[in-house]
Homo-oligomer: A and B are copies of this chain.
Amino acid sequence: MPLPFPFLDLFGTFVFALSGATAGVRRRLDLFGVLVLAFAAASAGGIARDLLIGAVPPAVFRDWRYLAAALLAGLITFYRYPLIERLKHPVQLFDGAGLGLFAVAGTGKALAYGLDPVMAALIGMLTGIGGGMTRDLLLAQVPSVLRSELYAVAALAGALVVVGGDQLHLPEAVMAAAGAALCFGLRVMAIYRGWRLPIAPAAGQPEAPAKGERPQ
């Protein structure tokens, strides 16, 4: 198991699935579409990680609890959407928590499979952002990770804490918690304080939609 505390993995799966299911309900998918989106948002990052490091079948196909957590989140969101919606910025906060947990878990597993520290951090970041990217791509949208405030950076920061701790032989569980907390904190600051990365100065004016592009 990638994390010292396996239940954290399940919690990450659950909150990512909430994020996917929420996006699915908003786009008026049917029940199965919502469940597919919940599962995809929850597991695509981990599946990508496992395919890339050669851990097949991916963990999500070897332990029924991941599937159960994702489906439970999807069902709750589908039948109790007003409850989920009432929480402030629900998608973004669920996303931020899942992001931190998945980034540190993915980094740890990549290190365990012998990848170099920098590449393990990259895989960890992908573990974190892969679910959200897949959620957005399945809805035919540009992944919010490519535009959002400090999204991938937050995942990478959390991953680098784990890699740094591994290099310095610090306690794995403590560094995983610190990495996840840093990632989540960066996301919260990005959402509430508007922290964000620059946009290329030369592209300052919105361009006219190119041929074949959707209007903005």
Q: Which residues of A contact B (CB under 8 A)?
A: 24-34, 36-37, 47, 51-54, 56-58, 61-62, 64, 67, 77-79, 81-82, 85, 113, 115-116, 118-119, 122-123, 133, 137-143, 145-153, 196-200, 202-203, 206-207, 210-216
Contacts and interface: CB of A to CB of B under 8 A. Distances in A.
Taking the full assembly, how many copies of this chain does it contain? 3
Given A61-B123, A138-B143, A216-B212, A200 B52 contact: no
Contacts of A142: 27, 138-140, 212
Contact of A36 (B32, B82, B152): B152
Contacts of A212: 141-142, 147, 214, 216
Contact of A32 (B26, B113, B152): B152
A2 to B, nearest CB: 16
19 contacts: A25-B200, A26-B210, A28-B199, A28-B203, A28-B207, A29-B146, A30-B148, A32-B151, A33-B152, A36-B146, A57-B115, A61-B115, A61-B123, A62-B119, A67-B118, A67-B122, A77-B200, A82-B202, A85-B202
